[in-house]
Structure 1
Amino acid sequence: MASFAMAFPSKKEDESGLSSYYNNKTTIIQEARVFNDSPISPRKCRALITRIVYLLYVGETFGPQEATTLFFGTTKLFQHKDSALRQAVYLAIKELATTAEDVIMVTSSIMKDMQPNSEVIYRPNAIRALCRIIDPSMAQGVERFFKAAIVDRNPAIASAALVSAYHLFPHAKDVVKRWVNEAQEAVNAKSSSTFFGSSSGGGYLGFGGSSSQPNGPQAIASSSYIAQYHGLGLLYLIRQQDRMAVTKMIQQLGGGKSGAGTTLKNPMALCMLIRYAAKVMEEDPNVQRQMVELLEGWLRHKSDMVNFEAARVICEMKNATPAQLTKSIAALLVIAKACFEICCHSHTGCSCSHAPKQCGHMQCRSRKPHRRPQSQRGDIRHHHTSKGRTGNEASVDRLIKQITGFMTEISDEFKVIIVDAIRSLCLKFPTKHVSMLSFLSGVLRDEGGYDFKRAVVEAMFDMIKFIGECKEQALSHLCEFIEDCEFTKLSVRILHLLGVEGPKSPQPAKYIRFIYNRVVLENATVRAAAVTSLAKFGVNSPEASLKRSITVLLNRCLDDVDDEVRDRAAFFLKVFKEKPLADTYVKEESVFSLAALEAKLVAYVKDPSSAGQALDVSSVQKISRAQAAQEAARPSSLDTIGVPAPNKAVDAPVAPSAAEKQSAYLQQLSEVPEFGSYGPVINSSLTPAQLTENETEYQVTCVKHVFKEHIVFQYNVSNTLPDTVLEQVSVIMQPQSDDNALSEDFIIPLPALTAANSPGTIYVSFTRNSPDQFALGSFQCTLKFISKELDPATGEPEEEGYEDEYQLEEVELSAGGDYIIPSYSTFGAEWDRLRSAPSATETFALSAMESLKAACDSIIEVLNMEPLGGSEVPSSTSVHTLQLSGLVTGGGGKVLVRCRMTFSRGQGVTLELGVRAEKQEVCNLVLTAVGG
């Protein structure tokens, strides 16, 4: 705001308590009497309004009576001539309007400042405030003011009107839709706007200014075309339900194949148009050719922002051709090369404005090649072979040298992006691991925060996992790092890795010194992790002398001041003496999945029938210790190839955990009295099956709940039509087989469903006629309802409607997901343990499979089991073995599958499927799932 700024309290005031008094809500309400002073003191009023807005900013709330008192107190200042005070008043009433009562009374005062002949400095404020004040029914009365403001040649007024219209749209759609011509005119602005400040010298509201400016009209030129950005957003909001209109808008504003004729001059507006084009392509593949032509034209735009956005969309297209990828990556490489040259040959390092952009190009390029088939990757690699490009193996060393030159000059945020890109290159070009590992170890010694150091450590972890030749050198670098590591979490993770990989190395004793130094020098948490790591050397190392040395070191730990360290040392000394304990607590690589265990505990606590019964954890999914450590270390997990996870919006909601989903389902089911006698839920499908397309008027998803003697299908139904109500909504399920494994009990329909109360829930219950058997099959589903139009005047549905139905996708009961969940185990030991257990073997001909890799992926998807070995298939082999482990819900126990496969070109894959389980029914389930 012009000459209005919020006064934030200083640290000294915070310490003395003055700030808490100065910005106390009660004190501010008492001081509101300054609004009634005569004459009014603009300075005092501005200071008090500043404090009011500050309290609202930090989350303080005013009650309706308090807000009303302050609201109408500030409106008394409308007639004052001080421009800065008037702007502060508008800001205050805009924020208080949502809580205060009878705010509609100030409409006439605000509309005076919206008149075309009023001061320019006040009109944007008045427009934004009026948007918060008026009732939706009054929108038609102020329509002419908004229409005039949208096409005003002052960009501040036009933008304020466009954004206000955007906020009014959900409440007054019919009125705002009539402003489409004005919004189109704002988007089609041909020249930069010139507007004039007020004669009182108030300055330009929203972009700074001062009341000390000289009197008289001040011409201020604006070439940002910001109104185009806001106008485009409003146009899309109005037309978003009409795909043809959106497509036509994109083509008209796109400017043809070259993109040069576009009327959009604002880069942000062009970026938004590109995103709209991407959405249209996703929803309607038939327009992809026209959209791609526009995107390729935007690759040559003068704005780097537009270039990068167009390249990103092309790279993320599901069926992009090699030629299209080549053009987008070529555009990225041109900018990336210029950025590298600027950063590497200047004395200022990477302080130039291209640094963030350069890192963005690296992230986009590192993400893409791994998502394409081998044929497309080859085309990209060929494009990278020219001089100055960074995509081929020969240029990796030069690239590493260039990056090293500016790593110390950029922020940690960009360092993390670069390290993730380097990790991707490590796994793409494993023969260059020496130079890349040297780079990573070098930056690991540099200054940096936790996120940066963690990214480097994770990159080294992946190199150890996927590139065997560098394991010894990488472990040595990590040992040196923990000597001076200031982050406890990283030290614990590295110690865990040393305990896993160290005993397998040719010289395990060389790591003992680094680990024991942590026992002597570090805090209690690290010391405890070091004790566990030492114990793994003692158990897993074949050298008897090393075990004796470990025993001596652990005995010294018995005198530690921390009880956790002492307890671990005593525990492992006991384990050394008894091999069964060592096998169970040290060598065993599986642990409970925390998410699955939490879900089980939540279900156990909320189940009334569990009272007096012990918790059964035999059906809880297990994962490897490495997976558990990885989950704890990477909340936003990266692919094993090292590609950075897609960025999330700052305010994007966090996805619920498995336990939270399970808890929500249990809460919903507990509220249905018909399910009270069903007992505990054995398993729920945590990922709902989508039964309709995203753009359809009715959206339906299905969640399956398996009980001991019943199966309940939960249909979540959304009605996206705001002027229609659905009554007596139900789902009719027709089984596709006649095995009579399930008998329908009842349907719990929805009495009524509108867009406002969507989604609603429908339940269909079936009885398992043979609870010991696993019912499989598919159901044809139809959504049936009575459709009634809503009366626009009363909002009530019409008396008469018509019966209608909507065909849904089929719902399938399958082995994987509904009965089998992935669970980690040591395959060799478990396979031998189940030698005398029920088993089955059968041979299948998978003639449709074009490779062993495709066969492995298909089997894993169908059975939903944990691959323990063989999921990575060498391209040169024609014989392969895949090992899978799973857990059957409902007391089915452990199940192991061994898939022996041979591939013959032209004949497909021949599969010998061997199954061992704790029950014969489980073996039959697996064979049926694969052969059915």
Structure 2
Amino acid sequence: MPRSLAGDLTDPEMAQPYMKKDDDDSDIEYSPFFGIEKGAVLQEARAFHDPQLDARRCSQVITKLLYLINQGESFTKVEATEVFFAVTKLFQSNDAGLRRLVYLMIKELSPSSDEVFIVTSSLMKDMNSKTDMYRANAIRVLCRIIDGNLLTQIERYLKQAIVDKNPVVASAALVSGIHLLQANPEIVKRWSNEVQEAVQSRAALVQFHGLALLHQTRQNDRLAISKLVSSLTRGSVRSPLAQCLLIRYTSQVIRESSNTQSGDRPFFDYLESCLRHKAEMVILEAARKITEMDVTSRELAPAITVLQLFLSSSKPVLRFAAVRTLNKVAITRPLAVTNCNVDLESLMSDQNRSIATLAITTLLKTGNESSVDRLMKQITSFMSDISDEFKIVVIEAIRSLCLKFPLKHIYENHVVLQYNCTNTIPEQLLEDVTVYVDATDAEEFSEVCSKPLKSLPYDSPGQIFVAFEKPEHVPAIGKFSNVLKFTVKEVDTSSGEADEDGVEDEYQLEDLEIVSADYMLRVAVSNFRNAWENMDPESERVDEYGLGARESLAEAVSAVTSILGMQPCEGTEVVPSNARSHVCLLSGVYIGGVKVLVRLSFGLSGPKEVAMKLAVRSDDPEVSDKIHEIVASG
């Protein structure tokens, strides 16, 4: 702790020693201000009146007063006034450390208009001092305590300070302008020329504060903001701090603009160019803003790429910032983040628990059913070590996972059907709620058990499960008809009590069909080409199919992908407009844990006739044959 703030911790006049022994001789650490009382400190403040000021002693007393104020201690009007008058006498001391504490004390006491005039002359003298530290702090204090009338008297000094050669003085004047803008906007707006000059400063903080003030003076004028951003995005901003601000203002203009996409293009190009900036903070800010915008997959890709690079950074702060941003992206666009899964998996064991938590919850949003168990076990191992904030992140990720996989639950020997039920009628209570499943058209399935709901109150969702046994490792298919049966009891909405007697009722649900694609898990691969080449060539099966008349290649790609139930890789599910040929790459895991890779080559053989070449590689040649059977029957 600086000597000017805390004094000597071994000084017997300080409130308490830093170390204190308790009765059982164990060491307890205390703040050097532990146990100080307001009354005692106010008595010590009499030192401010001594003819021969002890700068060190006065610094200790002011430090204690500031501590009490920041701990929420309240001062009466009389106490505040007496302390204020006493503090003003310290301007006669030339001790630099004490002078800085005097500035802080005056700001914290916030004197009334009747008291301000007492220190005004001293502060204005310091504002014109040859000592830059005095000038900067005096400006900050004056602008916090003066009213509009006095502001007009010192306006000339403030305008000069904004363009001062010393960056500390210039920043002080600009920050003061930001505060003054709330109460005296017309005066501050007259400083426009000086503020614009500050935005061109070579000092990082001056440019940062200048841009912030310039933006605030125009914040209610969309056109003015747009012109400001347009002029500054051409390269005049050099400070990384100011550039981060400019990125935020640019994204705001894009978001609020009602122009066409071509009108927004220069602004978005600027954001994209910031992804190649040499300052890491600028890159992160640009990537974060791009991911928050409504952009295409192609526009989003560069931002995801730089975030992926930061995941392997040696700096924990960069890893944290990157994984937190990707975690937010995964909520709405999980497919855009899947290419980062390998890097995210390496962060699951990161020493920083916050980083590890965000990495795992991101994987829960972007991963698949085959990885859920492993991720859940990893979370459980350190759930007690993370803060409540990150526990909420984990819970939300698990919730989104449950919504992602609500029904398909397919195992090697069994299939479990899940029915999500909600009672939407306030006047009714449903009891003994169950689903009767008719498997006549699903000959290979036999029901083994079901789990009904004993009670289903209004607006309280519940789940019903029905389990079927099937031949092991066999992708059995079939259609199930479902009837929801329950007992209805009338409810008194005023008391919430239900009648004792109820009426049996039933509701016909939609038929459910299990198809071959249900036995395939959508599992992405990070590098399809490497995965394909590492797969046994002997397992490859190739054939050609005529898909008949289709509206477009895109419709044909979507149809085949849906039939196979596999995960598109590397964005190949997107077909360029007016394309006459296209290659789509798919990956997945078939029942029994068999990895499968598919190359689909589409082409137009006529005006709307689509032909397809299907190449399959897998861990099991029989599964490669099975994939062709699925396509042929589909």
> Structure 2 length as normaliser, TM-score?
0.59
In 1: Cα distance, 2:114 partner to 2:151 partner: 19
- Residue 461 of structure 2 corresponds to 624
Q: Identity across aligned pairs (percent)? A: 33
- Residue 117 of structure 2 corresponds to 104
Q: 41, 47, 61: which is aligned to 1:34?
A: 47
Q: What displacement does 1:305 show?
A: 2.2
Q: What displacement does 1:91 show?
A: 0.9
Trace 1:685-834 onto structure 2 (pairs within 5 A).
829=486
In 2: Cα distance, 1:75 partner to 1:332 partner: 56
Q: 308, 319, 323: which is aligned to 2:284?
A: 308
Q: Is the 8 A contact 1:362 1:421 kept in 2?
A: yes
Q: What displacement does 1:471 show?
A: 6.9
Q: What displacement does 1:246 show?
A: 1.2
Pair 1:324-2:299 in alignment:
yes
Pair 1:435-2:371 in alignment:
yes
Amino acid corresponding to residue 330 of structure 1 in structure 2 = P
Q: What displacement does 1:53 show?
A: 0.6
Query: For residues 41 and 136 of structure 1, do their structure 2 counterparts lie closer, same or farther at Cα, with a shift above 3 Å needed?
Result: same
- Residue 349 of structure 2 corresponds to 408
In 2: Cα distance, 1:229 partner to 1:89 partner: 27
Amino acid corresponding to residue 356 of structure 1 in structure 2 = F
Root mean square deviation of aligned Cα: 4.2
Is 67-76 or 263-272 further displaced after alignment? 263-272
Q: 441, 454, 463: which is aligned to 1:587?
A: 454
- Residue 230 of structure 1 corresponds to 209
Trace 1:39-118 onto structure 2 (pairs within 5 A).
39-98=52-111, 102-115=115-128, 117-118=129-130
Q: 256, 262, 267: which is aligned to 1:283?
A: 256
Q: What displacement does 1:68 show?
A: 1.1
In 1: Cα distance, 2:228 partner to 2:119 partner: 39
3-state SS, counterpart of residue 298 of structure 2: helix
Query: For residues 43 and 827 of structure 1, do their structure 2 counterparts lie closer, same or farther at Cα, with a shift above 3 Å needed?
Result: farther
Pair 1:336-2:308 in alignment:
yes
- Residue 358 of structure 2 corresponds to 417
Q: 372, 376, 385: which is aligned to 1:448?
A: 385
Q: What displacement does 1:30 show?
A: 1.7
Q: What displacement does 1:357 show?
A: 3.2
Q: 227, 232, 253: which is aligned to 1:253?
A: 232
Q: Is the 8 A contact 2:287 2:306 kept in 1?
A: no
- Residue 467 of structure 1 corresponds to 405
Q: What displacement does 1:313 show?
A: 2.7
Query: For residues 135 and 2 of structure 1, do their structure 2 counterparts lie closer, same or farther at Cα, with a shift above 3 Å needed?
Result: farther
In 1: Cα distance, 2:112 partner to 2:462 partner: 52
3-state SS, counterpart of residue 4 of structure 2: coil
- Residue 154 of structure 1 corresponds to 166
Query: For residues 95 and 450 of structure 1, do their structure 2 counterparts lie closer, same or farther at Cα, with a shift above 3 Å needed?
Result: closer
Query: For residues 407 and 321 of structure 1, do their structure 2 counterparts lie closer, same or farther at Cα, with a shift above 3 Å needed?
Result: closer
Amino acid corresponding to residue 323 of structure 1 in structure 2 = R
In 2: Cα distance, 1:104 partner to 1:311 partner: 50
In 2: Cα distance, 1:421 partner to 1:65 partner: 57
Larger Rg: 2
Query: For residues 27 and 338 of structure 1, do their structure 2 counterparts lie closer, same or farther at Cα, with a shift above 3 Å needed?
Result: closer
Question: Structure 2, unaligned stretches of length 5 or more?
Answer: 8-14, 23-27, 420-431, 437-451, 464-482, 492-501, 505-560, 564-634
3-state SS, counterpart of residue 281 of structure 2: helix
- Residue 323 of structure 2 corresponds to 359
In 1: Cα distance, 2:179 partner to 2:40 partner: 33
Instruction: Spell out, residue by residue over 1:129-188, the C-alpha distance to the aligned partner (whole angstroms, 9 max, x if none).
Output: 111221112111101110111111211111111011111112211111111111111111
Amino acid corresponding to residue 299 of structure 2 in structure 1 = Q
In 2: Cα distance, 1:23 partner to 1:100 partner: 31
Query: For residues 300 and 831 of structure 1, do their structure 2 counterparts lie closer, same or farther at Cα, with a shift above 3 Å needed?
Result: farther
Q: Is the 8 A contact 2:287 2:307 kept in 1?
A: no
Instruction: Spell out, residue by residue over 1:615-652, the C-alpha distance to the aligned partner (whole angstroms, 9 max, x if none).
Output: xxxxxxx43379xxxxxxxxxxxxxxxxxxxxxxxxxx
Query: For residues 440 and 92 of structure 1, do their structure 2 counterparts lie closer, same or farther at Cα, with a shift above 3 Å needed?
Result: same
- Residue 269 of structure 1 corresponds to 242
Q: What displacement does 1:269 show?
A: 1.4
Q: What displacement does 1:504 show?
A: 8.9
- Residue 194 of structure 2 corresponds to 182
3-state SS, counterpart of residue 23 of structure 1: coil
3-state SS, counterpart of residue 73 of structure 2: coil
Is 1-10 or 358-367 further displaced after alignment? 1-10
Amino acid corresponding to residue 434 of structure 1 in structure 2 = S
Q: What displacement does 1:95 show?
A: 0.8
In 1: Cα distance, 2:487 partner to 2:90 partner: 81
Pair 1:391-2:355 in alignment:
no
3-state SS, counterpart of residue 5 of structure 2: coil
- Residue 866 of structure 1 corresponds to none
In 1: Cα distance, 2:35 partner to 2:349 partner: 43
Q: What displacement does 1:352 show?
A: 4.7
Q: Is the 8 A contact 1:444 1:453 kept in 2?
A: no
Q: What displacement does 1:339 show?
A: 3.6
In 1: Cα distance, 2:348 partner to 2:65 partner: 45
Query: For residues 352 and 465 of structure 1, do their structure 2 counterparts lie closer, same or farther at Cα, with a shift above 3 Å needed?
Result: closer
Query: For residues 308 and 19 of structure 1, do their structure 2 counterparts lie closer, same or farther at Cα, with a shift above 3 Å needed?
Result: closer
Instruction: Spell out, residue by residue over 1:532-565, the C-alpha distance to the aligned partner (whole angstroms, 9 max, x if none).
Output: xxxxxx999x9xxxxxxxxxxxxxxxxxxxxxxx
In 2: Cα distance, 1:459 partner to 1:368 partner: 12
In 1: Cα distance, 2:236 partner to 2:198 partner: 11
Q: What displacement does 1:436 show?
A: 4.1
Trace 1:906-917 onto structure 2 (pairs within 5 A).
none
3-state SS, counterpart of residue 291 of structure 1: helix
Q: Is the 8 A contact 1:151 1:182 kept in 2?
A: yes
Q: Is the 8 A contact 2:163 2:197 kept in 1?
A: yes
Instruction: Spell out, residue by residue over 1:268-312, the C-alpha distance to the aligned partner (whole angstroms, 9 max, x if none).
Output: 211211222222223322152332232222232222322232233
Query: For residues 172 and 18 of structure 1, do their structure 2 counterparts lie closer, same or farther at Cα, with a shift above 3 Å needed?
Result: closer
In 2: Cα distance, 1:470 partner to 1:454 partner: 28
Q: What displacement does 1:52 show?
A: 0.7
Q: What displacement does 1:21 show?
A: 7.8
Amino acid corresponding to residue 212 of structure 2 in structure 1 = G
Instruction: Spell out, residue by residue over 1:559-616, the C-alpha distance to the aligned partner (whole angstroms, 9 max, x if none).
Output: xxxxxxxxxxxxxxxxxxxxxxxx9xx721336xxxxxxxxxxxxxxxxxxxxxxxxx
In 2: Cα distance, 1:188 partner to 1:830 partner: 76
Amino acid corresponding to residue 242 of structure 1 in structure 2 = D
3-state SS, counterpart of residue 187 of structure 2: helix
Q: What displacement does 1:314 show?
A: 2.9
3-state SS, counterpart of residue 60 of structure 1: coil
Amino acid corresponding to residue 359 of structure 1 in structure 2 = V
- Residue 10 of structure 2 corresponds to none
Q: 155, 174, 181: which is aligned to 1:169?
A: 181
Query: For residues 829 and 99 of structure 1, do their structure 2 counterparts lie closer, same or farther at Cα, with a shift above 3 Å needed?
Result: farther
In 2: Cα distance, 1:164 partner to 1:361 partner: 33
Amino acid corresponding to residue 4 of structure 1 in structure 2 = S
Question: Structure 1, unaligned stretches of length 5 or more?
Answer: 193-224, 256-261, 344-350, 371-376, 381-389, 474-501, 506-537, 543-582, 592-621, 627-825, 838-874, 878-932
3-state SS, counterpart of residue 588 of structure 1: strand
Q: How many residues align?
A: 430
3-state SS, counterpart of residue 127 of structure 2: coil
Query: For residues 264 and 69 of structure 1, do their structure 2 counterparts lie closer, same or farther at Cα, with a shift above 3 Å needed?
Result: same
Amino acid corresponding to residue 334 of structure 1 in structure 2 = V
- Residue 622 of structure 2 corresponds to none
- Residue 239 of structure 1 corresponds to 218
